[in-house]
Amino acid sequence: MVTTIQASWAAVEPHSGELARLFYGLLFERAPQTRNLFPVNMQVQRSRLLRAVVHVVQMVDRPDELAPFLSQLGRDHRKFDVIAEHYDALGSALLGAVAHFSGDAWTPAVARAWTDAYAVVSHHMRAAAAAERGPASWLGQVISHRRLGWDLAIITVQTTEPIPYSAGQYLSVETPQRPRLWRYLSPATPPRDDGTLEFHVRAVEGGWVSRAIVAHTNPGDTWRIGPPLGSLSLHPTTDRELLLIAGGTGVAPIKALLTQLVEQGGQRRTQLFLGGRTPDDLYALPELRTLSYTQPWLDIIPVLEHDHGNTGAQHGTLADAVTRYGAWVGHDVIVSGSPAMIRATVTQMLVAGTQLDQIHYDPFTMD
Ligand SMILES: Cc1cc2nc3c(=O)[nH]c(=O)nc-3n(C[C@H](O)[C@H](O)[C@H](O)COP(=O)(O)OP(=O)(O)OC[C@H]3O[C@@H](n4cnc5c(N)ncnc54)[C@H](O)[C@@H]3O)c2cc1C
Ligand code: HEM
Q: Is the pLDDT of residue 193 over 70?
A: yes
Chain CA centroid to CA 149, Å: 23
Half-sphere exposure of 176 (CA within 13 A, CB side): 12
pLDDT digits (tens, 9 = 90+) for 329-348: 999 999 999 999 999 999 99
Rounded to the nearest whole angstrom, what is the distance from the C-alpha of residue 283 to the centroid of ligand 2?
A: 33
pLDDT of residue 45: 64
| Residue having the nearest C-alpha atom to atom 5 of ligand 1 | 185
* Mutation test residue for ligand 2: of 77, 85, 178, the one with most atoms within 8 Å of CB: 77
Q: Is 130 within 8 Å of 18 (Cβ atoms)?
A: no
DSSP 245-308: EEEGGGHHHHHHHHHHHHHTT--S-EEEEEEESSGGGGTTHHHHHHHHHH-TTEEEEEEESS--
pLDDT of residue 365: 66
pLDDT digits (tens, 9 = 90+) for 204-245: 999 999 999 999 999 999 999 999 999 898 876 678 999 999
Q: Domains in the chain, ordered, with CATH?
A: 2-131 (1.10.490.10), 138-225 (2.40.30.10), 241-360 (3.40.50.80)
List pocket residues of ligand 2, CB cut-off 6 Å: 34, 37-38, 45, 48-49, 52-53, 56, 73, 77, 80, 82, 86-87, 90, 121-122, 125, 182, 366
Mean model confidence pLDDT for the chain: 93
pLDDT top residue among 311 and 352 = 352
Q: Could you tell me the pLDDT band of residue 158, with boundaries at 50, 70 and 90?
A: very high
Q: Considering every ligand atom, which ligand is closest to the CA of 26?
A: 2
Q: How far apart are CA 192 and CA 282, in angstroms?
A: 25
Please report the sign of the dihedral spanned by the C-alpha atoms of residue 193, residue 196, residue 197, residue 198.
negative
Q: DSSP code of 227?
A: P
pLDDT of residue 283: 96
Q: How far apart are CA 175 and CA 35, in angstroms?
A: 19
Q: How far apart are CA 172 and CA 157, in angstroms?
A: 13
* Mutation test residue for ligand 1: of 183, 213, 216, 342, the one with most atoms within 8 Å of CB: 183
| Residue having the nearest C-alpha atom to atom 26 of ligand 1 | 207
Q: Is the pLDDT of residue 43 over 80?
A: no
